[in-house]
Amino acid sequence: MQQASSKVAAGDDAPLIEPPVLERVLQVAVRRGADMAEVFAEDRQTSGASLDGRKVEALSSGRERGAGIRVVVGETTGFAHTADLSEQGLLAAATAAAAVARQGGGGVREVALPARRPAGPGAEVLPSTVAKAAKLELLARADEAARAAGGAITQVTAAYGDVRRRVLVASTDGVLAEDDQVRTRLNVLCVASGDAGMQTGYESVARTVGFELFDRVDVDELARTAAARAISKLSARPAPSGELPVVLAGGSGGILFHEACGHGLEADHIAKDASVYTGRVGELVASPLVTLVDDGTLVGEWGNFAVDDEGRPAARNVLIDHGILTDYMWDWLRARKEGRPSSGNGRRQSYRHLPMVRMTNTFLLPGPEDPEEIVAQTPRGVYVAKLGGGQVNTTTGDFVFGTTEAYLIENGRITEPLRDANLIGNGPEILRRVDAVAGDFSLTPGTCGKDGQSVPVGCGQATLRVTGITVGGTAA
């Protein structure tokens, strides 16, 4: 592994905007009367590479800087963004945001920000200090390892990416916070060809760390896993149809709970009465085996950060405690209306976007069971080793998810691989049907889309069994 210095580049510890400038910009934003004004500044550096058919298909790097200014007056929010971080550019954006939020008003509001506390990157090896050749060498290794898994592998696509995101948040609420987030990822997609046609296998690793990730992760093994997943599906049989017990492998089913119940616990959906969980705090909404947590403080996980995009510290929030709904996830705007603090769930895709309530790392806590025993105690069902994407209606809780690696359970044993199928159900009902939870907890990285914005998240759980989910297979 080629190592590189993680020394912060000159000037990277300087504030994106100097505090005196921030104070003047915020004063302009509220001088005509406003409940709150906020400056969110961002400096994002990215690099990426992809290898397809043993050829470098893409090699990119980029950097963008800018600021978004939000002004809140009563129930109205004004927002403007600019790529010009000069005082003149920021003042123009503040004036525009204030004009949208309110016409007229009066009075002067003094703005005094706390002392600045610089934030350093959590990475040991900044990806920007690593040569492009070293990143391409990772992709070549993954390609070679995947192809070595067998002649059935006919295509391998490997992709690498990293991002360093420095943010600064200042508001008239007395917030002055910074964060320096470094994320690194690698994924491998394999295609296997045989009598059953073409089948795909996918595996990835993604962490909120620097290039040291590849001292901790075996890239060859990751590629072999993707290849084996594709090859196994060449001999897969059609999945059964109908309602069956489903065992979700540790980490693999987190996306189901993220979508099927996580979104329904976001306070903006609650405020719109667009969630099956509206008004149900204190009620039993799941099996007593289910404790659902959203935690942005998990160091190194994909949804980890020091402060959210409103400057509030990341937090661990218990949403469902042994089946009882205890709380929702909150950003500043929704929390303000309820007279309570934010839960650190205000996130945005970039400085061009307003923050909204978003998950961080959302997962079910592990239980006492042995994962092998859970399978052994299932006479017939489906074992899902890896879930794919899906859709959910937050108002009803109804969902559809695809499987990308699944097996038949017969007489308490995992037997034949199954072709991709759909799992169809209702989030609250599925939570009530969890009857066994093991201790082999793990998290899976992902990208969550909501209202046109995407943010990195983690989701996960230990191996667990749901007594019945409708499997949309093709077997008679």
SS3 422: strand
**Mean pLDDT, the chain, integer:** 92
* pLDDT at position 468 over 80: yes
pTM, two decimal places:
0.92
Q: What share of the chain is helix, strand, coil (3-state, %, to 5)?
A: 20, 40, 35
The whole-angstrom separation of Cα 212 and Cα 36 is 41
Is the Cβ–Cβ distance between 63 and 44 less than 8 Å?
yes
The single-letter DSSP state of residue 128 is G
Mean pLDDT, to the nearest integer, of 4-29? 76
Q: Exposed/middle/buried for 120, CB within 10 Å: 0-12, 13-18, 19+?
A: exposed
The answer to whether residue 113 scores a pLDDT higher than 70 is no
Tally Cβ neighbours within 10 Å of residue 476: 6
Confidence class of residue 475 from pLDDT cuts 50, 70 and 90? low
Question: Which of 256-260, 342-346, 382-386 is least confident?
Answer: 256-260
SS3 241: strand
Mean pLDDT of 5-17: 61
Domains of the chain: 19-235 (3.30.2290.10), 241-472 (no CATH)
Instruction: Summarize pLDDT for 267-295 with one digit per residue, the tens.
Output: 999 999 999 999 999 999 999 999 999 99
pLDDT value, residue 31: 87
Provide the pLDDT for residue 122.
81
Tens of pLDDT, residue by residue over 148-197, are 999 999 999 999 999 999 999 999 999 999 999 999 999 999 999 998 78
Residue at token pair 């990751």: 222
What values do phi and psi take at 295, rounded to 5? Answer: -140, 105
Token digits of residue 241: 């149809």
Q: Which range is least confidently modeled, 38-47, 182-191, 233-242?
A: 233-242
State the average pLDDT over residues 32-50. 95
pLDDT of residue 6: 37
Query: Using an 8 Å Cβ cutoff, are 289 and 434 in contact?
Result: yes
Instruction: Give the per-residue pLDDT at 13.
Output: 73
Residue 105 has pLDDT above 70, yes or no: no
